[in-house]
Amino acid sequence: MKQKTILITGAGGMLGDAMVRQFSDAWKVVAVDRDLDVTRSVDVEKYIKKIKPHAIAHLAAMTDLEYCESHPAEAYATNALGVANVVDCAQRLDIPVIFISTARIFNGKKIFHEHDAADPIGVYGQSKYAGEIIARSYSKSIIIRAGWMVGGGPTKDKKFVNKIIQRVNAGDVELKIVEDALGSISYTYDVASTAEYLLTRKAYGIYHCVCDGGATRFEIAEFVMKELGLAKKVRIARVDSGHWKKEYFSPRPASERLANTILKKMNPSLTRPWRKALSDYLKRFQWLDR
């Protein structure tokens, strides 16, 4: 019989899917998504007291950069106030909280380590950093900063990898991919296993959890097409970020590279090269409509 319960908010997304899978072996998992409005403190407290969890993985967030930029009040309500509501209740009940932060709390001018000062340049990053500050105020918080999220498969992946595969499935034989955006991949299944590793050891603090090595969007797209056997069928054209400025108008840091300084010292096996993680991801699902 599973002795401990973990509440996972925002469980309907790509990271939520990985978290539920990871924790289900040893924990009783209560997964909630849009049924719980984290911006309402009364609802949050009522729900948590009903579930009586031994830990909370708080994933609920507004992550669409353009929507956040156009709706800052909503972004802060979810990404900051929502965190405050969860953390406040967890603190009163003396239970640990896992909070997922982002590389976008930094300005993109270098590779960032855990101790570096934040300087977010858009509403999404600013609202997430506000939430991080709140989470950091609680001594039993585990803050995991992630990079470019990869995971969820064809049905739940709303990010770059599935977007370019969808375009190929729609018949595109040329993909215009930016070559001047640099980042670190965070594989959801690795993030989830790291989260459980830290939680079971009560290793509270701030961590970067990304795959080893950085890559441009162009390099990632090139690797995906090669792994799917499409390198000769689909042309990848290099463009700069200005090409998609109308569609993606929210300010983005030039680089979203993170260094896993603390995790590497704690346990080197917690991270792996991005190509190995991405290869594993692409083999995990059926992607192509054929």
Does a structural domain hold residue 221?
Answer: no
Does a structural domain hold residue 90?
Answer: yes
**Nearest residue to 146 (alpha-carbon basis) of 109, 195, 179:** 195
Orientation of helix 82-93 relative to helix 41-51, angle to 10°: 40
Number of domains into which the chain is organized: 1
Task: Name residues whose C-beta falls within 8 Å of residue 39's C-beta, 6 or more positions apart in sequence.
Answer: 77, 78, 81, 82, 85
- Residues of the domain holding 140: 5-159+184-214+256-274
**pLDDT over 70, % of the chain:** 99
- Residue 2 scores a pLDDT above 90: no
How far apart CA 65 and CA 275 sit, in angstroms, is 26
- The residue that leads in pLDDT, 5 or 249, is 5
Does a structural domain hold residue 76?
Answer: yes
Does a structural domain hold residue 229?
Answer: no
- The residue that leads in pLDDT, 181 or 98, is 98
Does a structural domain hold residue 284?
Answer: no
Does a structural domain hold residue 267?
Answer: yes
**Encoded tokens for 175:** 């993909």
- Residue 290 scores a pLDDT above 70: no
**pLDDT over 90, % of the chain:** 93
Residue 110 has what pLDDT? Answer: 95
Q: What's the pTM?
A: 0.95
Tell me, what DSSP letter sits at residue 79?
A: I
35: how many CB neighbours lie within 10 A of its CB?
10
Does a structural domain hold residue 289?
Answer: no
CATH number of the domain within which 144 lies: 3.40.50.720
What digits encode the pLDDT tens for the residues 231-277? Answer: 999 999 999 988 878 888 898 999 999 999 999 999 999 999 999 99
235: how many CB neighbours lie within 10 A of its CB?
12
- Residue 194 scores a pLDDT above 90: yes
Does a structural domain hold residue 12?
Answer: yes
CB-count burial class (<10 Å; 0-12, 13-18, 19+) for 215: buried
